[in-house]
Amino acid sequence: MGISATDADRINGVKFLNRWNRDAVTGAKMPEKEHDTKEFPDEDPAAEAKDTGTDRRSDKGTREDRGEPPAKQKAPRATKKAGPSARPTPPSGPLDGIRTMSNRLFSSKIGIIIAGAFIGIVAALLQSKGNPGNMGFCIACFQRDIVGALRLHSAGPVQYIRPEIIGIVLGALIASLFFKEYRARSGSAPIIRFVLGFFAMMGALVFLGCPWRAYLRLAGGDWNAIVGLVGLGFGVFVGTLFIRNGFNLGRSRKTYRHVGLVIPILMIGLLLALLVDPAWTGGGKIFASTPGGGGPGAMAAPIAMSLAIALAVGFLAQRTRFCTIGGMRDAILIRDFHLLFGALALLIAAFVTNMVLGQYEAGWEDQPLAHTDGLWNFLGMTLSGLAFALAGGCPGRQLVLSGEGDADAGIFIFGMMAAAAFAHNFRIAATGAGVSEWSGNAVLLGLLVCGIIGFTMRDRA
């Protein structure tokens, strides 16, 4: 009995994802490919005797000739028997039971919905406690603020060390260590990942938001986000076409344990800088937007609240493999909607919470930190969707991966941060008033570069 074209597409999609993506289609962790192990039999004594003229199977004559005692014969090793007489498996401790139960929960549909709903609720709460409008979480914007705080760009309204970024990475680190999933790895086309991160950020700063914020903007009533989400989906769709045709960044490899700790250690350093606010030689210090100055960098929820919530978000995102880009990608490639349920749960939960808190204001105009240029909203998120799809996950997912030891994800993050500095130093980033004269050029260049990467980095085997 033959298979239908639809089934064939599904099978091909699974094959491509299994080869290309480090995570399972359902969001659960894929087992690492184990190297084939073979037990080589002992050399043939007869063959050795043929070559050397000596028979290894019996050295009695030669030992007696030399006046040595015969070799002691080893008793055959007893074969272990299965059953009651075999060594019992050590009983599982309470932590093992907790790990097993939580794995079952978080790998289920309920688990991914819980994670998405939690992110949506706490994002709306952070906004009510001081974060910018429709920006309880925005991975791209918050990384831009951190770059400004480190004096890498001079745009005064967007300078602040955001504890949300720090918390997501450290929360993922804690989860991966507790559940024994921390694995330091690197070597999967790092320079290409840097370039993809660079242009993913360019697109996000033209739209004014990452995929997480696109959902949060829509949940807050910003209808411009509809155009952005359509563009995001189109970019992911183009990315899946490259994946179907063999796009592959190569396999990452196990590396030294401390290599995977670089990003978490940097985050701890940023947290100390946020709390201590050091002043270095020459009067330099951590920058922060002027309170009341009107910029998003001056709008922030309390540090302790932001950090605690972000730690929980990072923990949940690591356990469930929450990914807004992965949800679209899997739905398009193999008709699997597991991860997409998490993104939809984020949207619905944020919408309900905004309604309860009185933060929902529907319309196109006068939305917080947004512009109404539909063309560049669409193309900006098309660029971001394509770059994120080729890199293997949304910016939140990249933070989580860097927390669990993926140095390649860390390189992607560095690419995003470099783009944030570049975009604000050279007037590429959009503002609430609209895009600049250079925004469109940057987006078109990014689409060209990502297209070249998708065409050329293909597994032709």
pLDDT value of position 461: 58
* Element holding 185 (H helix, E strand): strand 185-186
Pairing of strands 185-186, 253-254: antiparallel
pLDDT tens for 407-454 read 999 999 999 999 999 999 999 999 988 999 999 999 999 999 999 999
What does the pLDDT average to over 329-337?
A: 95
pLDDT tens for 163-206 read 999 999 999 999 999 999 999 999 999 999 999 999 999 999 99
Q: What is the DSSP string of 200-257?
A: HHHHHHHHTS-HHHHHHHHHTTBTHHHHHHHHHHHHHHHHHHHHHTTB-----EE--G
Type of residue numbered 307: L
Sign, CA dihedral 107-113-119-125, equals negative
Task: Give the integer Cα–Cα distance in Å for 76 and 217.
Answer: 73
* Element holding 166 (H helix, E strand): helix 163-178
pLDDT value of position 270: 95
CB-count exposure of residue 112 (10 Å: 0-12, 13-18, 19+): buried
pLDDT tens for 234-274 read 999 999 999 999 999 999 999 999 999 999 999 999 999 99
pLDDT tens for 6-41 read 445 544 554 455 444 544 333 334 334 333 333 333
Q: Which of the 8 DSSP states describes residue 72?
A: P
Task: Give the integer Cα–Cα distance in Å for 257 and 240.
Answer: 32
Please name which of 136, 103, 140 lies closest in space to residue 24, comparing C-alpha atoms. Answer: 103
| Beta-strand runs (E) in 349-389 | none
Q: Is 60 exceeded by the pLDDT of residue 42?
A: no
* Mean pLDDT of all residues belonging to the chain: 83
CB atoms within 10 A of CB 262: 17
What does the pLDDT average to over 143-172?
A: 93
pLDDT band at 283 (very low <50, low <70, confident <90, very high): low
Q: How far is CA 362 from CA 122, 131, 144, 369, in A?
A: 20, 19, 27, 14
pLDDT value of position 280: 58
Residue with the two structure tokens 């000739």: 65
Query: Which residues, other chains included, contact 335 with Cβ-Cβ below 8 Å and sequence gap of 6+?
Result: 10, 13
